[in-house]
Amino acid sequence: MADVKALQQERISIYHDVFDNKIPKRVPVNLSFALEVVAQYGKLNLVEAQWNPEILEEAADKMCRKVYSDVCVFSGTFRFPSFYQALKSRSFVMSSIGFIQHPEVIGMLPEDYDYLIEKPYDCILERVIPRQYEAFDLDDPINTVINFTKSMLAYNNDFMQAGMIIGKMTEKHGYYPGSLFSGGFTEAPFDLLADQLRSFKGISMDIRRMPDKVAAACEALYPIAFKKGLPAKPSKYAPVFIPLHMPTFMREKDFEKLFWPTFKRMVEEYASMGVHCNLFCEDDWTRYLDYLYDLPTDTVLMFEYGDPKLIKEKLGKKHIITGLYPIMNLKTKPTEECVDEAKRYIDILAPGGKYIFGFDKNPLLLDDINLESYCAVAETVRDYGVYSNPGETAGMEFNKEDYKVEPSRKFESKYYKTWDQYKALNPEVSDFGSPKLQGLEEAVFQYIMYLMM
């Protein structure tokens, strides 16, 4: 047990050093498997594991003993079928083999833009959610309330069960008690508009036909997206995770005008509170590297594709780099070549610090990788990625005082009440109820917006 605690302290130290602008003792190994891979490793029925995550504990423990990582090897999942099924989701549906898929669906029509711009949260609840979730039927309010309650209870239960397994594994194996996703989860305002509201095809037409309304909609959605990702307890060690979907499908002039302004402001507003963002730069962001440089210091940039030398040269002194190592190598190349490739990435990306080892993406299936090669790469990074100058300053230093943002539009809706508003309507309620009732208000908001991401 003493050895486990000592290892956990080492892991805490190397992660904190990265965010404290110090050279760590060694490169952090940030590898984990989603629920589906762990279920397959444990020879479990994938559909059953999705519905009953508690059965994954033994398989998760076996995987943790098999694979080296500095964070919990079992990462759970963002999607469980229970709460989507309770609401008859059209946006996230389970395939016959147990994978949650996101078909191309439209939740907002072009004629809804004006209402979204005027009252964004009201529009999402009154028009978008009923189209995406058939059990959210405004003509059948009693069953809607029952179905929504069931779905939220299922959401809380399933994530609690998965979280309990992660917590047990973290203590048992001495993992870093955090992750690059621990601060919160949200989307850029433009991606929120594109993904669930207008769809890829719809937003692509809107960019050309009504760019001014797209820009206004992003401004309207900004306070919702910001609030969704804001950590309950802001910390520089708990980044807000933001996957970036649309930019590589956009012309640069459209990206600069429509995507970038509200996104950059959101990342800077988090930074002004001492919070970093973990950005998953999906696809190839090479043409946008200069934009990324302008984001707040110590933004975590997870790259899917790109030239590691160019990325390190342009961004490595200011930002924290992760990703890039092709997960496909672990299926297509011999173990020795995979190990040599890991050393090459370390040689390029580790010097000067601000680097966390990770793959370009996580495997969807156990068969996507050679597990022995995966283990060999993880252990190589642990043993090879050792610094000779730990404790020295790593590149530029983060200072939250460097970031100031203009006040944005306030989050307001008749479907969300602040404590003062609730108190005005219910003057007899005790002030002792403020944390609990406001917390419940926030929990409902968080869940509703989770359904939209």
**pLDDT at site 98:** 75
Q: Give the integer Cα–Cα distance in Å for 189 and 208.
A: 18
Tokens representing residue 330 in the block: 């672990």
Helix (H) or strand (E) segment spanning residue 131: helix 129-132
* pLDDT tens, position by position, 152-177: 999 999 999 999 999 999 999 999 99
CA 388 to chain CA centroid, Å, is: 33
What average pLDDT does the segment 60-82 reach?
Answer: 97
What average pLDDT does the segment 68-90 reach?
Answer: 96
C-beta separation of 295 from 267 below 8 A: yes
* pLDDT tens, position by position, 283-336: 999 999 999 999 999 999 999 999 999 999 999 999 999 999 999 999 999 999
Please, is 121 exposed, middle or buried when counting C-beta atoms within 10 Å of its C-beta (0-12, 13-18, 19+)?
buried
In the predicted model, is pLDDT for residue 249 greater than 70? yes
* pLDDT tens, position by position, 16-59: 999 999 999 999 999 999 999 999 999 999 999 999 999 999 99
The residues spanned by each domain of the chain are 105-122+179-318, 417-453
Angle at 315 between CA 312 and CA 321, to 5 degrees: 70
Of the candidates 377, 373, 361, the residue with the CA atom closest to the CA atom of residue 322: 361
Give 105-122+179-318's CATH code, choosing from 2.30.30.60, 3.40.50.300, 1.20.1560.10, 3.20.20.210.
3.20.20.210
Give CA torsion, residues 415, 268, 434, 119, to 10 deg: -10
**pLDDT at site 1:** 61
In the predicted model, is pLDDT for residue 380 greater than 70? yes
**pLDDT at site 213:** 98
Tokens representing residue 129 in the block: 């959610």
Task: Spell out the alpha helix ranges (H) of 210-349.
Answer: 211-229, 252-254, 260-272, 289-293, 308-315, 329-332, 335-349
Q: Which amino acid is at 359?
A: F
**pLDDT at site 368:** 94
What average pLDDT does the segment 345-361 reach?
Answer: 98
How many CB atoms sit inside 10 A of residue 439's CB? 11
**pLDDT at site 406:** 83
How many CB atoms sit inside 10 A of residue 238's CB? 21
Percent of residues, the chain, with pLDDT higher than 90: 94
Q: Which three-class secondary structure state does DSSP give residue 76? A: strand
- What's the N-to-C CA distance of the chain in angstroms? 40
* pLDDT tens, position by position, 422-439: 999 999 999 999 999 999
In the predicted model, is pLDDT for residue 95 greater than 90? no
Q: How many residues does the chain have?
A: 453
**pLDDT at site 345:** 98
Q: Which pTM value belongs to this model?
A: 0.96
